[in-house]
């Protein structure tokens, strides 16, 4: 059994470091970065400028690999 999570909070990142953990990764949403896209979008809307029909935020899949340093 393997486990893949959502959120990639501190507890999951700690568990990822344990050899033999059943958790192999987790999606990091990083809501602290949403403003980078939302503020410019809101300003365009307020100024009556055209905006795309959808704006997507990229998420990161956090997993442990031999190259991992900061999980």
Q: Domain span at residue 47?
A: 3-63
Q: Which of 33, 32, 22, 28 is nearest to 10 (CA)?
A: 28
- Which of the four pLDDT bands, split at 50, 70 and 90, describes residue 25? very high
On the question of pLDDT at 71 being above 80, the answer is no
The answer to whether the Cα torsion of 2, 65, 33, 40 is positive or negative is negative
Residue 70 within any structural domain of the chain: no
Arithmetic mean of pLDDT, 18-24: 88
Residue 58 within any structural domain of the chain: yes
Instruction: Tell me the average pLDDT of the chain.
Output: 88
Residue 69 within any structural domain of the chain: no
Residue 35 within any structural domain of the chain: yes
Residue 39 within any structural domain of the chain: yes
How far is residue 52's CA from residue 54's CA, in Å, rounded to a whole number?
Answer: 5
Torsion of CA 1, 18, 29, 32, to 10 degrees: 160
How far is residue 10's CA from residue 35's CA, in Å, rounded to a whole number?
Answer: 22
Q: Domains in the chain: how many in total?
A: 1
Q: What is the pTM of this model?
A: 0.66
Arithmetic mean of pLDDT, 45-67: 89
Residue 51 within any structural domain of the chain: yes
């Amino acid at each position: 059994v393997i486990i893949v999570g959502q959120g990639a909070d501190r507890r999951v990142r700690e568990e990822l470091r344990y050899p033999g953990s059943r958790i192999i990764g987790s999606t990091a949403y990083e809501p602290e970065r949403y403003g980078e896209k939302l503020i410019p979008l809101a300003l365009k809307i307020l100024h009556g400028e055209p905006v795309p029909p959808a704006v997507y935020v990229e998420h990161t899949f956090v997993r442990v690999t031999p190259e991992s340093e900061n999980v």
